[in-house]
């Protein structure tokens, strides 16, 4: 590599490191706002987040960044850059071209708005106050529409937002995938509802010590291989994971006194996100490649650990006795009954507590609402009614209030339109990865049944985690499984599991 190219690359890398430093500081402020920052300080903290975000934004869209990119993309760099640097240039170019179209003052205003909205959402959700939250949401939708106009719409306006969370995904492809899922899963759900072999969940209806739930959550994370020297577990209204860098990946969960499974599976879910972020290769440190490649692949890991592992029978053959010890005298049943109880399939109002099968219908509802917002012009004022009608259509139930309806998710308050499909895509990726894992590790379920989870984490680290954003979702799926994403693996997984549970 020439001396001139080396100097250019060093300056480029230093600017990326600066941007990454701002992003870490911003993420830490967000984490603090979501985990107990004083309410009266939220407005000022949101302004601080906005200012830091604006500085990072200016760095990433500066004239100098454009000059560096041109030099690193030029003929002199052809074949000279490492695989990591080449990918870093490609990803930075994509962000540069998109963000340069947004005025910095507009971006800062939007960041302040969403920071305030996320905090107000917590209060609005608790009170079921959609009317108070609606003005925030109305402004956030308006901003996203303005962003789409500046970027230039793709095949549809909503496609533009999808691409930010799952590169190259389109509504045409999702319509096909979700349509196929509906065709397979609705009859399966109907057969399950008609089965005379319904699991008994009555023994779960008790009051469970919050402190004991915390201790068991910590224990399970330890068993999964979560590194507590590189993270921590806290409490929040809505569980989430924040990866500052591989040495600091924090997660939260939500404890309910009347539901021991909520925090349990919420913790395992966020732990799956954290394992991804904690095990990215050190060569990607201080770069924007040091994170998950897409939200779909990220959700594949949280859903894998929560459902494929955490709701499996072998897992509970090992850990049910430990759960009983944490709640003495409260779970007086056998492991098979517990396993069937935590895998009940029935329509429910709350997405994060939904069973594996109907969960995908929750996602399809949100996906269709988001398409209506950006492709058909639905307004914030319309959403509670649309939400309730779709829950009646897809799940046969109507939310009794907005708290358990349109206000239940944090995503829209942060402007994360286009994110929700990632959850169902994650289920599909997870099922396909599991098929390969079972083939390459024939004693997988023996290991899980013995609590030997670290080889599973090691396989995932080697195949997925360490690469960060170095590969695209489609590249990862093709490399790991030998074929592109195929939803039939998810259908097969669900049919096999639930036909056995319900004796179909």
Assess whether 148 and 193 both reside in one domain: no
Is 46 within the bounds of a domain?
A: yes
| Pair 309, 369 in one domain | yes
Residue 170's SS3 state is coil
Structure tokens at 501: 């549970």
pLDDT the model gives residue 358: 93
Using CA atoms, how far apart are residues 77 and 70, in angstroms rounded to an integer? 10
What is the structure's pLDDT at 238?
85
The residue among 97, 122, 152 that closes a domain is: 152
Do residue 117 and residue 194 come from a single domain? Answer: no
The CA distance from 37 to 46, in Å, is: 11
CATH number at residue 328: 1.10.1370.30
Q: Which two tokens stand for residue 264?
A: 């349990």
Among residues 145, 176, 177, the alpha carbon closest in space to that of 161 is found at 145
In a domain, 384, yes or no: yes
b/e 319-342 (16+ beta carbons within 10 angstroms → b): bbeebbebbeebbebebeebbbbb
Assess whether 131 and 186 both reside in one domain: no
Q: Please give the residue range of the domain that contains residue 62.
A: 3-152
Longest dimension (CA), the chain: 75
Gap between the Cα atoms of 460 and 458, Å rounded: 5
pTM metric for this prediction = 0.92
Instruction: Verify that 145 and 198 share a domain, yes or no.
Output: no
Phi/psi class of residue 312: alpha, beta or left (left: φ > 0; alpha: ψ in -120 to 50)? beta
- β-partners of residue 248 are 245
Packing angle, helices 210-224 and 260-278, rounded to 10:
30
Minimal CA–CA distance to 406: which of 432, 418, 388? 388
Q: Is residue 358 located within the same domain as residue 397?
A: yes
Round to whole Å and give the CA distance between 418 and 410. 13
- Asked whether residue 333 is assigned to any structural domain, the reply reads yes
Distance, CA of 264 to CA of 307 (rounded, Å): 12
Residues 340 and 441 in one domain: yes
Residues in the chain where the model's pLDDT stays below 70: none
Catalytic residue among 223, 270, 277, 356: 270
Query: Per the structure, how many domains does the chain have?
Result: 2
H or E element that contains 502: none
Residue where a domain stops, chosen among 85, 120, 152: 152
308 and 410 share a domain? yes
- Is 500 known to be catalytic? no
| Strand-pair partners of 252 | 234
Residue 158 lies in a domain: no
What's the CA angle centered on 257, arms 256 and 263, to 5 degrees? 35
In a domain, 312, yes or no: yes
Residues 141 and 217 in one domain: no
Residue 164: inside a domain: no
Q: Do residues 125 and 175 share a domain?
A: no
Residue 166 is assigned to a structural domain of this protein: no
The gap between the terminal CA atoms of the chain, to the nearest Å, is: 64
DSSP state of 61: T
Binding-site residue positions for Zn(2+): 269, 273, 299
Q: Answer yes or no: do 96 and 195 share one domain.
A: no
pLDDT for position 277: 98
Q: Which residues are annotated as a binding site?
A: 269, 273, 299
Q: Does residue 162 belong to any structural domain of this protein?
A: no
Q: Give the Cα separation of 420 and 424 in Å (integer).
A: 8
Cβ atoms of 157 and 375 within 8 Å: the answer is yes
Q: Kindly state whether residues 175 and 126 are assigned to the same domain.
A: no
């Amino acid at each position: 590599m020439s001396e001139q190219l080396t100097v250019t690359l060093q300056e480029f890398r230093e600017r990326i490191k600066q941007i990454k430093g701002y992003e870490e500081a911003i993420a830490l402020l967000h984490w603090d706002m979501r985990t107990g920052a004083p309410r009266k300080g939220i407005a000022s903290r949101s302004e601080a987040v906005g200012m830091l975000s604006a500085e990072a934004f200016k760095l990433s869209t500066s004239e100098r960044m454009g000059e560096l990119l041109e030099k690193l993309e030029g003929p002199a760099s052809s074949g000279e850059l490492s695989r990591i640097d080449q990918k870093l240039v490609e990803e930075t170019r994509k962000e540069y071209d998109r963000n340069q179209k947004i005025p910095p003052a507009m971006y800062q205003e939007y960041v302040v708005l969403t920071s305030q909205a996320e905090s107000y959402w917590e209060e609005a959700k608790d009170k079921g106050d959609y009317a108070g939250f609606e003005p925030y949401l109305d402004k956030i939708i308006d901003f996203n529409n303005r962003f789409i106009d500046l970027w230039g719409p793709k095949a549809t306006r909503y496609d533009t937002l999808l691409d930010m969370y799952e590169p190259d995904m389109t509504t045409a492809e999702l319509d096909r995938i979700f349509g196929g899922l509906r065709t397979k899963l609705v009859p399966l759900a109907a057969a399950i509802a008609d089965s005379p072999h319904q699991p008994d969940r009555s023994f779960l209806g008790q009051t469970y010590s919050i402190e004991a739930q915390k201790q068991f959550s910590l224990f399970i994370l330890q068993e999964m291989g979560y590194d507590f020297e590189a993270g921590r577990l806290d409490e929040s209204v809505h569980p989430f994971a924040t990866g500052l860098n591989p040495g600091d990946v924090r997660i939260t969960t939500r404890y309910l006194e009347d539901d021991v499974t909520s925090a349990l599976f919420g913790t395992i879910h966020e732990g799956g996100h954290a394992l991804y972020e904690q095990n990215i290769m050190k060569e990607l440190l201080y770069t924007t490649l040091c994170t998950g490649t897409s939200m779909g692949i990220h959700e594949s890991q949280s859903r894998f650990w929560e459902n494929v592992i955490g709701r499996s029978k072998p897992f509970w053959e090992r850990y049910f006795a430990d759960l009983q010890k944490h709640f003495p005298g409260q779970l007086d049943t056998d492991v098979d009954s517990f396993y069937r109880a935590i895998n009940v399939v029935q329509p429910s109002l709350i997405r994060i507590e939904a069973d594996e099968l109907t969960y995908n219908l929750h996602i399809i509802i949100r996906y269709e609402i988001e398409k209506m917002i950006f492709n058909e012009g639905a307004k914030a004022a319309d959403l509670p009614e649309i939400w309730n009608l779709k829950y009646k259509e897809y799940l046969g139930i109507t939310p009794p209030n907005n708290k358990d309806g349109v206000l239940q998710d944090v995503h829209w308050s942060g402007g994360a339109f286009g994110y929700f499909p990632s959850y169902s895509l994650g289920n599909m990726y997870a099922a396909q990865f599991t098929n390969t894992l079972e083939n390459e590790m024939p004693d997988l379920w023996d290991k899980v049944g013995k609590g030997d989870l670290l080889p599973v984490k090691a396989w995932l680290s080697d195949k997925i985690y360490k690469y960060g954003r170095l590969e695209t979702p489609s590249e990862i799926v093709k490399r790991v499984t030998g074929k592109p994403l195929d939803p039939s693996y998810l259908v097969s997984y669900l049919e096999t599991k639930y036909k056995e549970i319900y004796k179909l």
